[in-house]
Amino acid sequence: MTIPRLLLISGSTREGSTNSAALRTIAADAGSDFTADLYADLLALPPFVPGTDPEPVAVAELHRQLGAADAVLFCTPEYAGMIPGSLENLLEWTIGNADLSEKPVAYVNVAYEGCGEAAVATLRTVVGYAGAEIVEAACERITVVPSDIGPDGLVADLALRTRLAAAARALAKHAAHPAATATSIQLDN
Q: How far apart are CA 132 and CA 130, in angstroms?
A: 6
In this structure, the chain runs to a length of 189
Residue 15 pLDDT class (50, 70, 90 cuts)? confident
pLDDT tens digits, residue range 72-87?
999 999 999 999 999 9
- Residue 138 has φ and ψ, to the nearest 5°, of -105, -5
Q: How many CA atoms lie within 13 A of 58 on its CB side?
A: 13
pLDDT tens digits, residue range 51-71?
888 999 999 999 999 999 999
pLDDT tens digits, residue range 101-123?
999 999 999 999 889 999 999 99
182 pLDDT higher than 60: no
Report the pLDDT value the prediction gives residue 78, as an integer from 0 to 100: 93
For domain 5-184, the CATH architecture is: 3-Layer(aba) Sandwich (3.40)
For the entire predicted model, the pTM comes to 0.92
Q: Which of 24, 116, 32, 121 is nearest to 73 (CA)?
A: 24
Q: Are 106 and 71 in contact (CB under 8 A)?
A: yes
Which residues are 79's β-sheet partners? 82
Which residue intervals of the chain are DSSP H helices? 18-29, 57-68, 85-95, 117-129, 158-176
* Residue 153, Ramachandran bin (φ over 0: left; ψ between -120 and 50: alpha; else beta): left
Report the pLDDT value the prediction gives residue 177, as an integer from 0 to 100: 86
Report the pLDDT value the prediction gives residue 181, as an integer from 0 to 100: 41
